Amino acid sequence: MKRLQKSLWSFITSLGLNGLSILLTFWSIPLILQALGENTFGQYRILLEWLGFAGLATSAFAGFFGQKISRLTSSTQQSQFVHEMLRTSFELTILLAPALVLFVYFTPHLLRNLEVADEIRFAASLGVLAFALLPGIVFQSHLEALNRGYTVNILMLIQRSSVILLSVVFALQLQTLASQFLALLIGQVLFLFLLLIFSPLKLDFERILKAPGIRSSLQKYFQEIKPYFKIDLAGKLSLSADALIISFFLPANQVTLFYLWVRLPQLILGQLMSFGNSIWSGFASLHREGGNSQWIFLRASKMISILSMAAAGSVLILNEDFLKWWLARPIDIPLEFQLILSANIILVSIISFFGWIMTSLGDENLFARISLQAASINVAAGLVFTWQFQLLGPILGSLIAYGIFKAYRMIQCLAPALNISKGKIAIAIFSPLAAGGLTLGLVFRLPIAEPFPLKLVSLLVFNLLFTMGTWIFILDSEEKNYIKAKFK
């Protein structure tokens, strides 16, 4: 299968993965909420985010592994590196065990709920066991580096479906916090089992035992691993900080409320981010071979901007009414929350793509530094704004950190690296956003009824007008001819 075909299949399967995940999630959340209650569900979300930090070292190591193995040309080098990294990941997990035990003990204090401390510790123990299986991510990263993301997406589809279905069954039957982490643990074991089956790696356990351990790996690769740790830490601070910041100032049920408000936007954002994820390895290969990577970058940037604008407009039109219909209860989301949230969808999807491009170009250290700076701004601003404005605070902090600071810094760095002017990058990104903003302003002035089913008319009008405006005013003749050729 050719590189372009593999990238296309990776993108198609990622759409299928995210599409089915969205459907299952929207089916499951009301059932789980009804069974657990908003407070317990909020505790689950908070504990899940803390566990993300517990698995930080291993997941950062996986990011380094994926990029490193994609640069090794011979199968012998790849096999040797894989066995070395497997031993390193197992030793890393063992070294982290004492810290994970301490984490389990203090989880009731993190959740500010000592009345059911034993139940919370049991739930945290199951969660820690699930994250202890993260060495299996070596196999996932290897498949992705071989441009076989479509295989990973299919296996993740099986895993996510299993976790969601088990979460519902366990919530209805057990009605405990631990039930959700039991479902997560079973899903992780299943995913690891499937990766072992479908991985092209031929494992030799004797070679794993004889391979250099974590001390040797750190000596050789520490400077290469360090930027991935920074990048992953920045990612955790940006994605996980919201729930944790809210938990510092507000009760757990407010974490649930925030989760519901951003659920639809986050699921849509995940689908947008999969676009950049599906093409980074192909872009990296083309760039190394001296191909026209600038053309790919500008067109992909424009396409992500168009897709994210369409998604943000849809969220702005439908989010509140959809939640009322979905949860069958009154929901009132402030307009300023909706506007900032929609802006974040656009900006995060764009800078996510930029991040993949920077790491594929070998600019991991620079990207790590920018990401940590933005994450620090996000946490600091989020704490201050949440203290002052409650649930509006986290997304306002994200807008400042990523929309203003990180987006500007990444354009500033990518332009010389790809030998493209900042103006061309800015036009590729902001011209679809300008067209989308004007279209939204027009749609909101139309006299369309408020109930959710009729809001779909607003959505249809917006996307129709935005598509026409993009085709007429935004796409150039080369892009139009390329699209036409694909439909012939």
- Closest by Cα among 172, 441, 198 to 317: 441
d(CA 203, CA 192): 14
Residue 186 pLDDT greater than 70, yes or no: yes
Contacts of 176 (CB under 8 A, 6+ apart): 36, 40, 119, 123
As given in the structure block, the two tokens for residue 242 are 């919201």
Helices (H) then strands (E): counts for the chain:
20, 0
Residue 15 pLDDT greater than 70, yes or no: no
Residue 253 pLDDT greater than 60, yes or no: yes
> Buried b / exposed e across 411-422, counting CB within 10 Å, b at 16+?
bebbbeebebee
pLDDT given for residue 448 in this prediction: 52
- Closest by Cα among 20, 63, 117 to 358: 63
As given in the structure block, the two tokens for residue 39 are 């407070």
Residue 112 pLDDT greater than 90, yes or no: no
What phi, psi does 373 have (nearest 5°)? Answer: -60, -45
With cut-offs at 50, 70 and 90, classify the pLDDT of residue 390. confident
pLDDT given for residue 32 in this prediction: 92
R_g over Cα of the chain: 23
DSSP structure class, residue 403: I
d(CA 453, CA 248): 38
90 or 169, which is more confident? Answer: 169
Give the number of C-alpha atoms closer than 13 A to the C-alpha of residue 244, restricted to the C-beta side.
18
pLDDT given for residue 332 in this prediction: 83
395 or 214, which is more confident? Answer: 395
pLDDT tens digit string along 21-79? 778 888 889 999 989 988 889 989 888 888 877 666 666 666 666 666 666 656 666 66
With cut-offs at 50, 70 and 90, classify the pLDDT of residue 171. very high
What phi, psi does 331 have (nearest 5°)? Answer: -135, 130
pLDDT given for residue 164 in this prediction: 92
Q: What is the pTM for the complete model shown?
A: 0.75
Residue 444 pLDDT greater than 90, yes or no: no
With cut-offs at 50, 70 and 90, classify the pLDDT of residue 6. low
**8 A C-beta contact, residue 466 and residue 435:** yes
Q: How far does Cα 416 stand from its chain's mean position?
A: 27
The average pLDDT across 236-243 equals 74
**Lowest mean pLDDT: which of 67-71, 129-133, 258-262, 417-421?**
67-71
Contacts of 71 (CB under 8 A, 6+ apart): none
**8 A C-beta contact, residue 342 and residue 316:** yes
- Closest by Cα among 243, 207, 436 to 342: 436
**8 A C-beta contact, residue 359 and residue 367:** yes
d(CA 343, CA 399): 7
d(CA 277, CA 273): 6
d(CA 382, CA 314): 26
Residue 369 pLDDT greater than 70, yes or no: yes
**8 A C-beta contact, residue 306 and residue 61:** no
Nearest 5°: the CA angle 190, 195, 201 is 155
Give the number of C-alpha atoms closer than 13 A to the C-alpha of residue 352, restricted to the C-beta side.
23
